[in-house]
Amino acid sequence: MRSRNYSRRASRWMAALRKLATAALALSAVLAAPATAQMREAALPEIFESYNDCFAATESGEISISSLEALGWSRATIRSSDGEPIENAPLIFGHSERKPIIIMSALEGEGVCMVNARIESFEVFEEFKQAFGGKLPEPDKQGSISYFAQGHPVQIAPTGSREAPALRLAVLTPKESK
């Protein structure tokens, strides 16, 4: 019985992950075209550090901006063409010592902590996957890999283009229904 309940809960979480990842993908697509071209290539160690920071920012099961800020991340200010800050702009964070960026779906509550990193080539994405020792599931038709880590649904995917390859790591923080 317990495994059936876990299976149902896992199915709900994965459905929620797909829904939020689709929204995150749409957001990253809007940001990616100009941003990916301007982002500097990130090394695997800083990508893993940023990925781990997303877990720290979601450790309580909810988004914690203060946890992210304590790890050295700061929110970017997005300005309009006339130089005025844009209200309700995407929640983008940068780190002075790393090249990846983090996009949060919300300031608090449930949501997604997403790492976007420009990489040298798609072979770097393959190296990233190899670090999991062959324990990752097969990718879906779009190349995304979804799994659970530290109790959270996670999705990783290659993004960008051949000219500007990138990868996306999304850590979901769903609230369990009781």
Taking the chain (178 residues) in runs of 10, the rounded mean pLDDT of each run is: 49 56 50 58 96 93 92 90 84 94 89 94 94 92 91 92 93 66
Its pTM stands at 0.79
In this predicted structure, what is the pLDDT of residue 2?
44
In this predicted structure, what is the pLDDT of residue 1?
45
In this predicted structure, what is the pLDDT of residue 87?
81
Tokens describing residue 125: 């994405």
Query: Which of 36, 40, 165, 151 is closest to 103 using CA atoms?
Result: 36
In this predicted structure, what is the pLDDT of residue 33?
44
Distance, in Å, from the CA atom of 91 to the CA atom of 43, rounded to the nearest integer, reads 23
